[in-house]
Chain A
Amino acid sequence: MHGDNTTDYLLFLADSSLIMGQRLSEWTGHGPMLEQDIAITNISLDTIGQARYFYQLAAKRQNEKAGGSEVTEDTLAYLRDAHQYRNLLLTELPNGDWGQTILKIYFYANWQKLIYGKLIYTSDKDIAAIADKALKEVQYHVNWSSDWVKRLGDGTAESHERMERALEYLWPYTGEMFMETDYESPQFERDKDFSLDTIRKEWTEEVYHTLQEATLTLPQADTFMHKGGKKGVHTEYLGYILAEMQFLQRAYPGCEW
């Protein structure tokens, strides 16, 4: 769509975090207890905040290239349709029960931690600055969600059973995080140590360790994996999220609080 690799990569990072945050925000007022309700909405706020920085940078780069000023963080978030969104399929999946949401956060936060941990060294100073900021926040998400994965997996018979089900459902959506697209490769080429394959190994090792502690069945690493999100091919769920999230700006263009 935009044909610029860095902008596409920024949109991929932004879209993934925005959709993650938008989904998590559905828990607002519905958490199992007040403290955890607050925790999950804090995580939602963090990821939406990170998405904003990536959108702002993507908008700035697009405007510089086109010599205009019409692209903003808001036009990118509110006025693109599902096929233009690059988010990981994992982020758009329904929340399911508490256990399923927790496991999704754990998988995603762990991936973010590793990606941002590399991006802080990228030669693109603007991206490095956002990654540096986000990395500190994501560490809290990893700690919190891994605690919960262990607590529920190694909990009651029912919580264990639910976590097994969540794992079976979510696992085939984790592979996409490590499938390289054409707009990602140039980001990695610039930084010699950056490879998605290394990230995948580190991620799997860490996740297996937690799942083991949680007494959950370790899934096969080489099983079938869904893909498409990074290229704009989504599940049916994304359209519904966008319909709700974008309604106001579509119905009342330019509306402000």
Chain B
Amino acid sequence: METETRDITITDIRKLLDEVTDPEIPVISIHDLGVLRDVRKEGDTFVITITPTYSGCPAMDMITLNIHGKLRAHHIPHFKVETQLAPAWTTDWMTDEGKRKLKEFGITPPMGSKGSEDLINRHPPCPFCNSENTELVSAFGSTACKALFRCRDCSEPFDYFKCH
């Protein structure tokens, strides 16, 4: 049975989308990540706008697919997902809740404001022991959005979410 579109609100859609997570970081929703830019209604159709984190990020196709899956499973009859490039995604759009969840997951959230940064002179705190005695291993990590660091105190390697 299909639900009538007029009974569904944008808030309902947003609630459902809160359950769509980043496929690489399953603890953080696309809203917390700042990838979900807008939900609006055009006539009968909900238009969901997402923005990519990095150009080559393979997660974008997966996220689009997961949004379709989630909304279809809840019998949302009319919707479309649009990708928008401008303004370009920045880590500033990540919510505080998102940053907290990232740290819990073992990834140090982005520090400071957007813009390219001098990674070598940066010491993001270790997500495991909070020490700032850390060093850069590589500016490129396990995914396009992360850099690889090492903690000199607890010796754990860890991912740092790069500022953009």
Contacts and interface: CB of A to CB of B under 8 A. Distances in A.
* Interface of B: prevailing SS: loop
Given A132-B88, A133-B88, A136-B88, A36 B138 contact: yes
A15 B52 CA distance: 21
| A: contact size bracket | 20 to 34
Contacts, number: 73
Given A38-B140, A39-B138, A140-B116, A45 B86 contact: no
- Of A53, A126, A136, A139, the most chain B CB neighbours within 10 A belong to A136
B57 interface: yes
A43 B140 contact: yes
Contact of A46 (B54, B119, B142): B54
Given A129-B86, A130-B85, A35 B148 contact: yes
Contacts of B89: 133
Given A125-B86, A129-B86, A129-B88, A49 B54 contact: yes
Interface string B26-55: 000000000000000000000000001011
Interface string A36-79: 10110011011111101100000000000000000000000000
Interface residues of B, number: 23
Contacts of A39: 138-140
B56 interface: yes
A42 B86 contact: no
A98 interface: no
Contacts of B58: 45
A18 to B, nearest CB: 11
Interface in B135-164: 137-142, 144, 148, 162, 164
Nearest to B148: A35
Contact of B56 (A38, A46, A129, A144): A46
A72 B119 CA distance: 38
Interface in A71-129: 125-126, 128-129
Interface of B: 52, 54-58, 85-89, 116, 119, 137-142, 144, 148, 162, 164
Given A38-B140, A50-B56, A126-B85, 4 more contacts: A35-B140, A53-B55, A53-B85, A137-B144
